[in-house]
Amino acid sequence: MSTMQYSPGLEGVIAADTQVSYLDVEHEEIVIRGYDLIELAQHLEYTDVAYLVIHGSLPTKEESKKFSTTLRNEAPLPEATYRLLELLPKSTEVMDALRTGISFLGGYEDAQVLNDTSISSNLAKGLRILAKAPGIASNAYRILHNQVPVHPDPKLDFTENFLRMILGETPDAEAREIFGYILTCYVEHELANSTFALRVIASTLADIYGSVVGAVASLKGPLHGGANEAYVRMLLEINAQGGPARAESYVMEKLQAKARIMGFGHRVYMRKYDPRAYLLRNYIPRLASRRPEGKDLHTIYQTVEQVMLREKGLYPNADSPIGLLFYLLGIPIPLFTPIFLCARIPGLVAHAVEQQADNRLYRPRVTYQGPRGLHLPS
């Protein structure tokens, strides 16, 4: 009989050795390859942080240029991707379209390349997924909403291109800057559920496309990446029910009904501030005037935060300020979680590479609670 203790939700269980990142809750630091994520977000371009996450060290100027050029060159989607997106039922959610689209891309790899789990092959395929995912996500939204697709523009960098394909126009400098901070804040976050899902799949030596597809399915859930959409829908609901004056009673009613408030709490941080939320909330006032209801939504944001801290001792996680910032930037809500996934691809690639470079199959056990000794009727 096993002496191992079952930990529901694997809480507190160490499930991987990694050199990619670590949540140091005690020191309120998200360590990314040795650097503090918040410092990286404030000083570096998203693509340079992506390089760091994937390759393990900061790029030189030349490496940075080469990395960005590869991303630009790999950004165009195979023409058939647009046809695939057109074939999807109009009720398809954008996150599911992204999952299907990434799976589809895998078919363009030669079988030998697809199944090659070497570091160099995984890196090359990982870069293709990173380069193409924004085009799939933004154009899935467009096509599902009967809008014309916006193809990647080779003159623009990754961040600008991504936002342009979402908004349909080249973003202004402030929007691009804040969107870049958000992408970096999402880039990697240790063993999040989606990253764990990816590592479990990768540990069978399945190909990296399949591993990323599994991560997309995981990240969609409202207890994970889906929280950014759910959070903003809640802010809008509060606003529609009476504006800032309704915020406190709304949260109290939900808590009394034992409902969860999305965008609050975290398995690892739980009773501490998520450093990403702490940084990003500062940008809300800068964008609030972009929407007529922006200031009210900001006030509701603050009230919800105060009530949750007072009543439950819980802080907002990154999905709260990010949800509101995306909304203020004019990004359609169904794209919030797909953008999170696209931004997380460097982390997913780094973990898939790490898993397969020194692999051991994930195969845990159970504590069996069912009956024994049953026999078929004679």
Catalytic residue positions, numbered? 224, 266, 319
- Contact with ligand COA (CB under 6 A): which of 317, 337, 355, 356? 317
Minimum distance from residue 57 beta carbon to ligand COA (Å): 28
- Contact with ligand COA (CB under 6 A): which of 158, 209, 264, 283? 264
In this complex, which beta carbon is closest to ligand COA, that of residue 232 or of residue 261? 261
What secondary structure does DSSP assign to 265-328, as a single string? --TTTTTS--HHHHHHGGGHHHHGGGSTTHHHHHHHHHHHHHHHHHHH---B-THHHHHHHHHH
Number of residues located near ligand COA, criterion CB under 6 A: 16
- Contact with ligand COA (CB under 6 A): which of 267, 272, 291, 295? 267
Minimum distance from residue 163 beta carbon to ligand COA (Å): 23
Minimum distance from residue 145 beta carbon to ligand COA (Å): 26
* Terminal-to-terminal C-alpha distance of the chain: 32
In this complex, which beta carbon is closest to ligand COA, that of residue 190 or of residue 354? 190
Q: Residue 226: which of 339, 79, 90 has the closest Cα? A: 339
Residue of closest CB approach to ligand COA: 265
User: For residue 224, what are the contacts with CB-CB under 8 A and spacing of at least 6?
Assistant: 192, 193, 194, 218
Cα dihedral 235, 239, 240, 242, rounded to 10, equals: 140
Q: Residue 182: which of 25, 37, 76 has the closest Cα? A: 37
In this complex, which beta carbon is closest to ligand COA, that of residue 7 or of residue 112? 7
- Contact with ligand COA (CB under 6 A): which of 167, 273, 312, 334? 312
Which residues within the stretch 206-235 sit at the binding site for ligand COA (CB under 6 A)? 223-224, 227
- Contact with ligand COA (CB under 6 A): which of 260, 272, 291, 295? 260
Q: Is 319 in the site for ligand COA (CB under 6 A)?
A: yes
Answer for the pair 149, 128: CB distance below 8 angstroms, yes or no. no
Which residues pair with residue 24 across a beta bridge?
Answer: 29
Answer for the pair 164, 150: CB distance below 8 angstroms, yes or no. yes
Per CB under 6 A, residues contacting ligand COA are 9, 223-224, 227, 260-267, 312, 314, 317, 319
